[in-house]
Chain A
Amino acid sequence: MKEKLHQIKEKYKGKKMAPAFNAIHTFLYSPNETTHSGSHVRSADDLKRTMNTVIMALVPCLLFGIFNAGYQHYSAINGFPAEFSLFEHFLTWENFWLGAITVLPIVIVSYGVGLAIEFIFAVIKGHEVEEGYLVTGMLVPLIVPVDTPLWMLAVAVAFGVVIGKEVFGGTGMNILNPALTIRAFLFFAYPTWMSGDKVWVHGAKDGITQAGSADAISGETVLGYLAQGNTEFTYSLSDMFYGFIPGSVGETSTLLILLGGLFLIFSKIASWRIMLSAVIGSLAMGLIFNGIVAAEWIPEYSKFYGLMNFEYWQHLLVGGLAFGIVFMATDPVTGSQTNRGKWIYGFLIGFMSVMIRVFNPGYPEGVFLAILLMNVFAPTIDHYVVRGNIKRRMKRLKTATIHPKVTDGVEALKTETV
């Protein structure tokens, strides 16, 4: 097999379809390429390994999302179990099967459409297929509601990959996070479908009714419930932390996201600076809102009261904030590239996420908008951080000792001030 593939590769070298073949070939075998210039040895990591590590961190979230899709569906119909048991009520074949038939098609469409576009662009432009989409394709199913129609998703993925990434030159060149561009496209192109309380639990859109009643099931997220001015909710803190709540497929389990984040930090793939500062940023904004409520600057009938009153640290447990901080904000291409910039960038993401979440009239979630906004500002942040380095260099230049050329015939030492 190794020999055969090598022969095919040599035969089609330089042909139009070569990148498409190479993408599959290098997927099976890491290439036989050797160093030509510079260092003769290279470290073991490549982009595939980097991307693969992120995917490994995402797999638990996906599996949880599959079970949760089933759990939320059946619980909405039959009511939540009074005595919750993980194995009896959550990790069941019934839940898994329903989750699998609703979630896996989303994964397949996301990868299928996205990778097809990547391959087409690689063949047209004659470069290798880059690995960026491996992670994007995995992120997309995890940040969309479970009942997202597949055709909408396909359109959004096509838009996100072409406009969000390929027009800028492909992986490494894009300004906006492609997965979030896809999410934003879904949100703004199909607002009636994508917001509200009907899309988060499978079947709610089709008007499936609760058992023993004529009411249609509702799958409201915690944030949606709070945004309507409610202050009390039915989910316990541990439900929110473990993730037994409605929401986008992969974003509900704060525990698994936390473990994924720790794995990414340990493996040095994602920036701990961004994660930490984003957490600090969101806590800061949450505290400010809590403070406003405590100071009674806002009346109880205000439509922002419910979310403002929400305990500051619990913002991290609900909605997409934790997922966004760990997996989206840390995208190295669209985030800040300097270490100091990463602190500012992360802090503002956390800060803005909670702010947008509370003040968003249509849809009580802000993390994807906050990250897209900061994606746009990341180069500006970097610019000023790098300016700091340049300024230091310019300052040093004032004390430069520039000696005259020997041919000038001047032996005296001249200190030039610029």
Chain B
Amino acid sequence: MSKDIRIKKGLNINLIGAAEQTTSKAVLSNVYALNLDDFHGITPKMFVKQGAEVKAGEPLFFNKNREDMLFVSPVSGELVEIVRGARRKILTLKILADKTQEYVNHKIVDVEKSDAESIRSFLLQSGGWPFIKQRPYDIIANPEATPKAIFISGYTTAPLAADANYVLNGKEAELQAAITALGKLTPGKVHVSVGSESNSPLEKLDGITLHKVSGPHPAGLVGTQINKIDPINKGEVAWTITPQDLVILGELFLTGKFNAERTIALGGSIVKAPKYYTTKIGAEISTFLYASGVNEDKFRLINGDVLTGSKTHPEGYLGFYNNTVTAIPEGDDYEFFGWNKPIFNKISSTRALTFSWMQPNKKYDLDTNTNGEHRAFVVTGRYEDVFPLDIYPLQLLKACMVKDLDEMEQLGLYEVAPEDFSLTEFICISKQPHQQIIREGLDLLHQEIG
């Protein structure tokens, strides 16, 4: 059964450098790394010591608050370095990869016949669990909670992000296995959404409720879809997972191996030949970045898309959840009378001598300049134009800033993740850090209410 979701509010950010739909195999990386910042709210406890030999899929550390939630190595090799920061906090785990990869072989789980409990413990033990995220709080799902539904977005609207339809091609078996397994973990539905005119491999899966989504970004964000399909209430839990991570879970169920391989999109105006690469979680970004070539020496490299990704550098590593790497120009230059002259080469949500409204399909080369300084909230009514959720964005942000827990709850903080505020942050005239405000609000709420 298919239900249509039409999103009207939003803004497509068309950038130069979309990845061409051809896939190359990236050079094998010498060192793979897990960046612990990817696992928000997890306090790691190491399983193995520095210098230990691990197989791909062998646990490296566990969640201090839940000892059975394991985080595994993406490759086999030697744990060469544990990078620590202030107060000995673990930042990064680096693994020097073996020439021939060895995998931990789990017992193959028959997803059709298994019950919820065995799937749950299999995912926790095999390292597949961290791919499942939950709302509220946008953190790795709490295995104790039963979700009311699971949401998967197969519709890509984020700028330069990897096209789900393309990267999922030919992965139907894995997807089906993962969907069947996850479906057992919830008494509710598994909501899968695809673009209204796409031909997605997700469409033909069994055991899902299919939604056809159309409209500008953020229509592809799972938070938007949850809000339109079945919004989260206080006390409820919903799980989300990206379709690419479903593939890894599916393979885990079908073969018993944790195969960290994924297809990623490399894009952005800096990249000479933007296209797709197959690589592994934690691979050095330089292994594929320089294969495509860069136009300039100075640029911003982003683990993820330009709206929600995190800053990295060519020696950095592909993030645990990322399937997009973007390189755009740094904008650390002054512009003479930049605040009052007509602007033709930047995207704007207004028409105040900015002309992006005249060419909605033009592709832009945006840099990282903030185009203005941080200010107090002044303008109103603008966020609502790009924020399709049934939530008052400005009021919720203000509630988070003043740490008013009651307001945060009532205004719908349980329903959102920082990424839902990426577009309001993009258009914010006061240049306020929306995603950070929401993240801090969520952490506070989690800490106080649990």
Q: Are the chains A and B members of one assembly?
A: yes
Bound Cα distance A268, B348 (Å): 11
Cα–Cα, bound, A271→B373 (Å): 23
| Contact in complex: B352, A53 (CB < 8 Å) | yes
Instruction: Report B-chain residues with C-beta under 8 Å of the C-beta of A15.
Output: none
A-facing mask of B114-128, CB < 8 A → 1, else 0?
Answer: 000000100000000
Residues from 405 to 447 in B contacting A, C-beta threshold 8 Å: 410-412, 418, 422, 425-431, 433-436
Contact count band on A? 35 or more
Q: Mark B349-386, 1 if CB is under 8 A from A, else 0.
A: 11111101000000000111111111111111110100
CB-based contact A40/B300 at 8 Å: yes
For the complex, what is the distance from the CA of A276 to the CA of B433, rounded to whole Å? 33
Q: Does A342 contact B (CB under 8 A)?
A: yes
| B235 CB–A CB distance under 8 Å | yes
**B448 contacts partner chain A, Cβ-Cβ < 8 Å:** no
- A337: contacting residue among B159, B309, B311, B381, CB under 8 A: B381
B330 within 8 Å of A (CB atoms): yes
Instruction: Report Cα–Cα, A338/B395, bound state, in Å.
Output: 9
B315 CB–A CB distance under 8 Å: no
The answer to whether A34 and B369 touch (CB under 8 A), given A41-B307, A271-B381, A386-B395, is yes
- Among A53, A333, A337, chain B packs the most CB atoms within 10 A around the CB of A337
B187 at the interface (CB under 8 A from A): yes
Q: Given A268-B350, A337-B394, A39 and B369 touching (CB < 8 A)?
A: no
* A172 contacts B378, C-beta separation under 8 Å: yes
Partner of A171, one of B144, B147, B349, B375: B375
The smallest beta-carbon distance between B298 and chain A, in angstroms, is 11
Segment of A24-32, A198-206, A312-320 engaged in the interface with chain B: A24-32
Report the stretch among A144-152, A228-236, A390-398 that lies at the interface: A390-398
In the complex, whether A238 has a CB less than 8 A from a CB of chain B is no
The reply on B188 being an interface residue by CB < 8 A is yes
A414 vs B375: C-alpha distance in the bound complex, in angstroms?
A: 47
Q: Which residues of A contact B378 (CB under 8 A)?
A: 47, 50, 132, 171-172, 332-333
Scan B131-145; emit 1 where CB is below 8 A from any A CB, else 0: 000000000000111
Q: Within the assembled complex, what's the spacing in Å between the Cα atoms of A44 and B384?
A: 18
Instruction: Tell me the B226-263 residues at the A interface (CB within 8 Å).
Output: 231, 233-237
Which residue from chain A places its CB closest to the CB of B147 in the assembled complex?
A403
Given A39-B425, A52-B339: A29 and B334 interface contact (C-beta under 8 Å): yes
Is the CB–CB distance between A43 and B145 below 8 Å? Answer: no
Q: Is A40 touching B309 in the complex (CB atoms < 8 A)?
A: yes
Among B235, B348, B380, B390, contact of A45 (Cβ-Cβ < 8 Å): B348
Q: Report the bound CA distance from A268 to B333 in whole Å.
A: 28
Instruction: Establish whether residues A50 and B379, one from each chain, have CB atoms under 8 Å apart when the complex forms.
Output: yes
CA distance A334 to B443 in the complex (A): 31
Cβ-closest chain B residue relative to A27: B339
Q: Which of B145, B392, B411, B430 contacts A403 (CB 8 A)?
A: B145
The answer to whether A41 touches B330, judged by C-beta atoms less than 8 angstroms apart, is no
Instruction: Report yes or no: B336 in contact with A406, Cβ–Cβ below 8 A.
Output: no
A360 interfacial by beta-carbon distance below 8 Å: no
Residue A335 at the chain B interface, CB threshold 8 Å: yes
Instruction: State the CA gap A125–B25 with chains docked (Å).
Output: 56
Q: Which residues of B contact A46 (CB under 8 A)?
A: 339, 370-373, 375, 429, 431
Q: Are B339 and A389 in contact (CB under 8 A)?
A: no
User: Complex Cα distance A163/B338, Å?
Assistant: 32
Q: Nearest Cβ in chain B — how far from A54, in angstroms?
A: 9
Contacts of A335 in B (CB 8 A): 380
A413 interfacial by beta-carbon distance below 8 Å? yes
B306 partner, pick from A33, A40, A396, beta carbons under 8 A: A40
Q: Which of B311, B334, B354, B371 contacts A40 (CB 8 A)?
A: B311
Contact (A392, B390) CB under 8 Å given A130-B376, A401-B236: yes
Are A393 and B412 interface neighbours, CB within 8 A? yes
Say if the beta carbon of A400 comes within 8 Å of chain B.
Answer: yes
A404 to B353, CA, bound (A): 55
Residues 312-351 of B at the A interface (beta carbon under 8 Å) = 326, 328, 330-340, 343, 346-351
Chain B positions within 8 Å of A333 at CB level:
378
Q: Does B168 sit within 8 A of A, measured CB to CB?
A: no
- Of the candidates B143, B308, B346, B428, the one whose C-beta lies within 8 Å of that of A406 is B143
Q: A65 to chain B: closest CB distance in Å? A: 22
Instruction: For A43, give its contact among B300, B333, B380, B426 (CB under 8 Å).
Output: B426
Determine which of B328, B343, B412 lies in contact with A41 in the assembled complex, contact meaning CB atoms within 8 Å: B328
Picked from B231, B339, B418, the residue with its CB within 8 Å of the CB of A38 is: B418
Q: Mark A1-17, 1 if CB is under 8 A from B, else 0.
A: 01001100000000000
Q: Does B148 contact A (CB under 8 A)?
A: yes
18 new A-B contacts, CB < 8 A, other than A6-B334, A38-B435, A268-B382, are: A2-B336, A33-B332, A35-B369, A36-B311, A39-B425, A40-B326, A44-B346, A45-B371, A46-B373, A48-B339, A49-B352, A50-B352, A172-B430, A271-B381, A386-B395, A393-B410, A396-B233, A406-B146
- B interface residues, Cβ below 8 angstroms from A: 13, 15, 120, 143-148, 159, 187-188, 231, 233-237, 300, 302, 306-309, 311, 326, 328, 330-340, 343, 346-354, 356, 366-382, 384, 390-392, 394-395, 410-412, 418, 422, 425-431, 433-436
Minimum-distance CB pairs A-B, first 9: A46-B372, A30-B338, A172-B376, A403-B146, A48-B339, A29-B334, A44-B346, A38-B435, A400-B233
Report A's interface with B, CB cutoff 8 A.
Answer: 2, 5-6, 26-50, 52-53, 128, 130-132, 169-173, 266-269, 271, 273, 332-333, 335-339, 342, 382, 386, 389-390, 392-394, 396-397, 399-407, 413, 416
* A/B interface sample: 24 pairs, CB < 8 A: A32-B369, A33-B332, A34-B370, A35-B369, A37-B435, A38-B307, A39-B435, A40-B326, A41-B367, A45-B352, A48-B340, A48-B372, A50-B352, A128-B373, A169-B376, A268-B350, A332-B378, A342-B381, A389-B412, A392-B390, A393-B410, A400-B233, A403-B148, A406-B120
